[in-house]
Chain A
Amino acid sequence: MSDNHGSSVISARVRHVEALLEARGLLDAGEIDTRIDEFLAGGTPANGARIVARAWVDAGFTDRLLADANAAIREVGLSMAGGLQEQRLKVVANTAEGHNVVVCTLCSCYPIALLGPSPSWYKSEAYRSRVVRDPRGVLAEFGLQLPAGTSIAVWDASAESRYLVLPRRPEGTPGLTEEALAGLVTRKGLIGTAAV
Chain B
Amino acid sequence: MSTDRVSTDRVSADRFTPGARVRTRSTDPAGHTRLPRYARGAVGVLVELAGRHPLADDRARGATGEAQPVWHVRFAAADLFGTGDHTVTVELWQDYLTPVEDA
Contact = CB atoms under 8 A, between A and B. Distances in A.
B34 interface: yes
A159 B56 contact: yes
Interface in A115-163: 132-136, 151-161
Given A80-B1, A90-B50, A105-B38, A159 B70 contact: yes
Contacts of B87: 151-154
Interface residues of B, number: 29
B100 to A, nearest CB: 20
A136 B86 contact: yes
A161 B86 contact: no
Contacts of B90: 156, 158
B85 interface: yes
Given A88-B51, A106-B36, A132-B38, A155 B89 contact: yes
Given A159-B34, A160-B91, A161-B91, A152 B86 contact: yes
B50 A159 contact: yes
Contacts, number: 80
Interface string B33-60: 0111011000000000011010010000
A47 interface: no
Contacts of B51: 88, 160-161
Contact of B4 (A88, A106, A135): A88
A68 interface: yes
A63 interface: no
Contact of B36 (A151, A152, A158): A158
A112 B99 CA distance: 35
A159 B93 contact: yes
A159 B53 contact: yes
Contacts of A36: none
5 contacts: A132-B88, A135-B84, A135-B86, A153-B86, A156-B91
Interface of A: 68, 70-71, 80-81, 86, 88, 90, 105-106, 132-136, 151-161
Which 5 A-B pairs rank lowest in CB-CB distance, beginning with the nearest? Answer: A159-B91, A152-B86, A70-B1, A154-B88, A156-B90
